[in-house]
A and B are shown apart, each in its own frame.
Chain A
């Protein structure tokens, strides 16, 4: 009985530990004071959210917001979308190739290959970022969005690979053999049999690759040169010695909501698929 209670207490403590900072961050995003606070309540406001679309005059009138460079922030966010727009398809293609090779090509080097292909996921992010910068610097390409994409793809491709491998291992190989046996070319077999089977896994891999690319900080930080992304810009704003503006709390809240929405959507999709 006591152990049961202990476990319950531990579980609650764990949840509080995990979610309390998020709850405080969300609360602070609606408090009309800067730097963000929940203890010093100055009244409810949504201006930290409105910052992104409010008229310029209103922006200039606010003592906190006028110190922020909205255009730069939006530009960095746009950079992140462009980077993710490249990273997602590249890492899906690479991850798919790796997954097909490791599950369908039976070689005794498979276990070695598995570690080689996944090692970028385990390597420290700054090592990836630095090595990308150094390599492309030697080639003559300065740090920028291109090097960010290259650096991110090396490790982001690992996520689709793991997810797609798990899925491919569940598809009986006879399915593909049957297609070949009926006269289909390997390419048609892949397109008509393997790919449709992978579609849900490709979708969730894409979502995860997108999130991984958007939120990546350390690798991007080292590979970015003079460019900026959403994550590095948030990082820069958070390092403000006078405390960061609550705008960051607002952004964080939106990210949390989006993540929860993605997770729910994914769970629903999986349930639907399992019912199939």
Chain B
């Protein structure tokens, strides 16, 4: 098995009802890469997946796999295999027949395809379950059958549509490792669709953050978490404090910005100019409570609540100046009673300013 490169060239998908699910998108997924598209539901990520697999036709632009234009090739003529969210195992066939189905469709003889199915079931550690029906297996086992079934056709690209979303937490975490190791073992290009950032960050070589039909940023998990390029990417991946402000001065890579909480110095990755309205982003783990005396960015805040989350502790604070809620996180090094008024601060290298843009919905907004 060998992976192939996938290229989206100006890919656009507008549905007959006029809704544009995917705005013109250029993207290259490298051969043999584990690539995730991360975004909230309805952002167009599933549409991209279905366009690559051939179930949706692009309204404009092209899908190329291994440099070959897929044109209007039907799903059964593409070198892709799709793992559905509900897995779509065939309930009336045995596990072995499920895995062998793709080979059956290619006219491989019965003995050969069943042998091949057994090999693949061994690969996903289900060698002894071949004669069962999918309904007799556990959730994680069914997951692995779906993977084996998709790998049986030796796809150049494996497409995965949130396949772990139906599993419970522990199993989900375990399946991440398994998916990653299967991908490494086979070298197939994985295109993984998810709204779960920790899934995307832990498994992927690279991640594309997507919102409202547009890709906001492509990069490694580290790049996206540490150097988000847009307000959406900053707020969708991980928790973040966002403070609105205006740029007062630009000094090399740093800017001076004026906010309701005071004047701060921060990184300027998008090279914004003086006078521009911006958002200042600080990750909770970079916001210090009672910072070093030499820390230049500091302002008074009141501690509201302390949430013990096991390995770390989350502090809910309120800026004294305007009551803006803020989050700070610390590694849990034992009880540290902090209460009432305090000073918080952050290093300029720990914060960055980005142009004002759409933010990801907070949990409270999603619940509303």
Contacts and interface: CB of A to CB of B under 8 A. Distances in A.
Interface string A172-203: 10110111111111001000110011000000
A181 B53 CA distance: 7
A192 B85 CA distance: 22
B86 A174 contact: yes
Interface centre among A178, A188, A192, A196, by most B CB within 10 Å?
A178
B84 A177 contact: yes
B144 interface: no
A183 B76 contact: yes
Contacts of A184: 76, 101-102, 104-105
B75 A177 contact: yes
A181 B101 contact: no
A192 B101 CA distance: 9
Contacts of A185: 76, 105
Interface residue tally on A, bucketed by range: 10 to 19
Contact of B75 (A172, A180, A197): A180
Contacts of A193: 90
A175 B146 CA distance: 12
B153 A178 contact: no
Interface in A24-59: none
Contact of B92 (A174, A177, A196): A196
Interface in B66-98: 74-77, 80-82, 84-86, 88-92
A15 interface: no
Nearest to A178: B88
Interface string A83-122: 0000000000000000000000000000000000000000
Nearest to A171: B91
B106 interface: yes
Contacts, number: 63
A179 B153 CA distance: 12
Interface residue tally on B, bucketed by range: 20 to 34
A222 to B, nearest CB: 43
Contacts of B76: 180-185
Given A174-B84, A174-B86, A177-B55, A183 B92 contact: no
Q: Would you call the interface of chain A mostly helix, strand, loop, or mixed?
A: helix
Contacts of B75: 177, 180-181
Interface string A253-275: 00000000000000000000000
Interface centre among B76, B86, B150, by most A CB within 10 Å?
B76
B84 A182 contact: no
Contacts of A196: 92
A179 B101 contact: yes
Given A183-B102, A188-B105, A197-B92, A178 B82 contact: yes
Contacts of B105: 179, 182-185, 188
A88 B90 CA distance: 29
A6 interface: no
B142 interface: no
A167 to B, nearest CB: 13
Contacts of B106: 183
A276 interface: yes
B101 A174 contact: no
Interface string B148-166: 0110110000000000000
B42 interface: no
A172 B149 CA distance: 18
A201 B228 CA distance: 55
Interface in A157-179: 172, 174-175, 177-179
B84 A276 contact: no
B155 to A, nearest CB: 9
B135 interface: yes
A184 B88 CA distance: 15
Contact of A182 (B74, B86, B149): B149
A240 B173 CA distance: 80
Contacts of A179: 90, 101, 105
A146 to B, nearest CB: 38
11 contacts: A172-B86, A177-B84, A178-B89, A178-B90, A179-B101, A180-B75, A181-B81, A181-B82, A182-B149, A183-B76, A184-B76
Given A174-B88, A177-B75, A192-B104, 14 more contacts: A172-B88, A177-B82, A178-B90, A179-B90, A180-B74, A181-B53, A181-B55, A181-B75, A181-B82, A182-B101, A182-B102, A183-B106, A184-B76, A185-B105
List 7 tightest A-B contacts by C-beta distance, closest first.
Answer: A182-B102, A174-B88, A184-B105, A178-B88, A183-B105, A174-B84, A181-B82
Interface of A: 172, 174-175, 177-185, 188, 192-193, 196-197, 276
